[in-house]
Structures are given as C-alpha cells and as structure tokens.
Amino acid sequence: MERNVTLDFIRGVAILGILLLNISAFGLPKAAYLNPAWYGEITASDAWTWAVLDLFAQAKFLTLFALLFGAGLQMLLPRGKHWIQSRLTLLVLLGFIHALFFWDGDILLAYGLVGLICWRLVRDAPSVKSLFNTGVVLYLAGIGVLLLLGTISGNEISRAWTPDASALLYEKYWKLNGGMEAISNRIDGLSNSLLALGAQYGWQLAGMMLLGAALMRSGWLKGQYSLRHYRRTGAILVVTGVVINLPAIVAQWQLDWAWRWCGFLLQAPRELSAPFQTLGYTALMFGFWPQLSRSKLVIAIACVGRMALSNYLLQTLICTTLFYHFGLFMKFDRLELLLFVVPVWLANLLFSVIWLHFWRQGPVEWLWRQLTLRASGTSLSRSSR
C-alpha cells in the first residue's frame, strides 16, 4: 500500500508539536502542566508563555494525534480482527512499560485501551455520517463530564493544583533518584490516569478517534477534496477555535488560575476548541501541500511521522536523561524550557531521515510489526504491503 506522505507530515507535526507541552511536564512539577501559577506568584514570562501555548497548542496536538490514530484504525480494518487486536494489545503493553519505568506522562496506554474499543465501533458503523455523529456525541459527553466534575468539585484547593513545598521537594526527590520510589509514584500516577480515562478523558479520546475514522472513510483525510475547500475550511475552523478558547484564557488569567474554575470549568472551552483548531490545522496542511511538499524540511518532518512511535519514545529518553539524570528538573521556567524543544526536534529529524535512508520502518515500528505478526498468527506474506 502506497504511503500518504501528507498524512506522514501531519503525523510528524503532531509528534513534534506534542513536545511543546510535554517539555514542561518533563522539566517542571506535574501541577505546572495546566496551572501556570503552580508556585504562587507568577511572572509575566510564565503567564504569556502559558497563554500563547494554551491558545495554539495545548490539547491541539494531542487531539490531532487522536484524529490520526482513528484514521489509522479505519485503514487497518482490512487486516482483520486478530491483527488489530494484537497490534493494539501490544501498544497497551508498551504504554504500560513506558509509564511504569520511564515517564508518568505516557499516552500510549490510553490510546491502546481506547483503540481496543473504538476499532469495533469503526468496523460496525453503517455509514460515514453515523460514525461522525457518534464521535461528536462521545466528545461532547466527555466535555459534559468535565463540567459536571467542576460543578461538584467544591471550593477547597487541590494540592495537585498548587502543591506545597514538601510535595514539591518529594516530587523532585523521586524523579531525580529513580528506583522503586519512582516506580511506586508512577504506579500511583498511572492509577489516577486510568481513573480519569474511564471517567472523563476516554470519552473525548474515543470521540476524536471516531471522527478521524469517519474523515478517512469519507476521503477528507486522503486529500480528495479541492485545495480551495481545504484552505477555506482550515481558515474558518482555526478562527472558530481561537474565538472559543480566547475568552477562557482571559478569564483564567483574571481569576488568577483559581482551582475550581480553572481546574475544571474553564478547561471546557479549550477542549471544545481543540477539534476545530485541529481540523483547521489539518485542512491548511492539505490545502497548501503543493507548496509545502517542495521543502526539504517538510519531507524530513514526514519522516518523523513515519516513525512516530520511535520518535515519541526518543523524546522521552532524551528529556528524562536531561531533566532527571542530569539534574535539570525545576531549574528553568516555562519559557526557558522551550529552548530545549529545538535540539530535541533536531534529534527527531536527523534520526528519522538517517534511519529511513537505510530501512523502511523505524526500529520500534519494526519490532511492533514483528510481534503483531506472531501474536496474530498472520504470515509475513499475507501482511506485506
């Protein structure tokens, strides 16, 4: 099957874009991911960095990755039940290992678990319209649960939102020292993540996967519409997302990032805006692909997308080494941490281009494929493209 280079590029953008947010999760305490005022008094630099990223990146690239994951489920249907289930089960196992032994910000486990449910919904959907509508309903249900949690949360400040000095010292201790203490804390974090996945985030993740599958089935994610359609649609969707999200960003700033409002209720506009901006970014990349495809950098980013799983794990290895093993954790503010993003991106780009010059798949992708072959009982000849 011939690869869609545009989709590889979009997937590469998603993987590289995710690091813009994950870098603060590597370099700062867990509370800093959503709360820029996690340490009390906030600097103008931190506030503006948070605001710009929240408007254009926060939740957008993860949503884009979920959209493409769902599109991949649609593309995998011809492989059959055993192939898909084996592939996703192995992803769950990889995510569990990643979350337990390497980093508590893993997304692979969540994507694998939700994918095991969603692929059947994709397979059994009678039409593109029903698949798309189901995705919308599931996504809105997740936002509804978020609002419900905000309504019943009460006014007591959560220590996870604004940790005290002892909590910060302890988090720094176990992240820098590793060992069983770190594994124990990552297990606790994994338990909380699975609870959040089942209660709220899983609904949104499933919704985006179904939307991605529907758009792939319709041909929209295959680039089968006109360039004019993609450009107009992209511009409208991005503007719509910004208009939805911007008032919530201003409100959070005005409320000094208060727990009840900013931890739940004002997260909802961002989550609502994310699909609009995600689809808008995707449409613009399709719409301007004739111009983009002439750039060597764009082709290099497409190589990153072809090796998305390997590059995601490479980001973890580089960043955990820098911040935990070299002791750089909590040494930089939100803006300064963005300076680390560029060299990690360069590592992703060089690794991908050089590796794909010699081999057809990334190393983790190759291993994943070989294990899937054996787990599903599929012969190599049947699975070859």
pLDDT at 300 over 90: yes
What is the pLDDT at residue 99? 96
Select the more confidently predicted residue: 158 or 282.
282
Q: Kindly tell me if the per-residue pLDDT of 379 is higher than 60.
A: no
Q: How much is the average pLDDT of 103-114? A: 95
> Does position 382 have pLDDT exceeding 70, yes or no?
no
Whole-model pTM over 0.75 = yes
Tokens of 348: 């992703």
Task: Compute CA distances 295 → 61, 285, 298, 302, 355, whole Å.
Answer: 22, 13, 5, 11, 19
Answer for the pair 209, 110: CB distance below 8 angstroms, yes or no: no
Q: How far apart are CA 19 and CA 103, in angstroms?
A: 14
Residue range 358-372: mean pLDDT, rounded:
96
- Domain count across the chain: 1
Above 80 in pLDDT, residue 39? yes
- Mean pLDDT over 212-223 rounds to 97
- When the pLDDT of each residue in the chain is averaged and rounded to a whole number, the result is 94
| Rounded percentage of the chain residues whose pLDDT exceeds 90 | 88
Share of the chain above pLDDT 70, in %: 97
pLDDT for 236 beyond 90? yes
Q: Which of 76, 118, 107, 116 is nearest to 309 (CA)?
A: 107
What's the pLDDT band for 262 if we cut at 50, 70, 90? Answer: confident
- What pLDDT sits at residue 154? 66
Q: Which of 156-165, 263-272, 289-298 has the lowest mean pLDDT?
A: 156-165
The pLDDT of residue 381 is: 46
197-209 pLDDT per residue, tens: 999 999 999 999 9
Structure tokens at 34: 């959503």
pLDDT tens, position by position, 146-161 = 999 888 876 666 778 8
pLDDT at 74 over 90: yes
Q: What is the mean pLDDT of residues 236-247?
A: 98
Domain range holding 269? Answer: 5-383
Predicted confidence at residue 183, as pLDDT, reads 95
| C-beta of residue 184 within 8 angstroms of C-beta of residue 100 | no
Residue 383 has pLDDT above 60, yes or no: no
Q: What's the pLDDT at 149?
A: 87
Q: Is the pLDDT of residue 312 over 90?
A: yes
Amino acid letter for position 250 = V
Angle between helices 5-27 and 296-306 (to 10 degrees): 80
Q: Which pair of structure tokens corresponds to residue 76? A: 């995998």
Question: What pLDDT is recorded for position 219?
Answer: 96
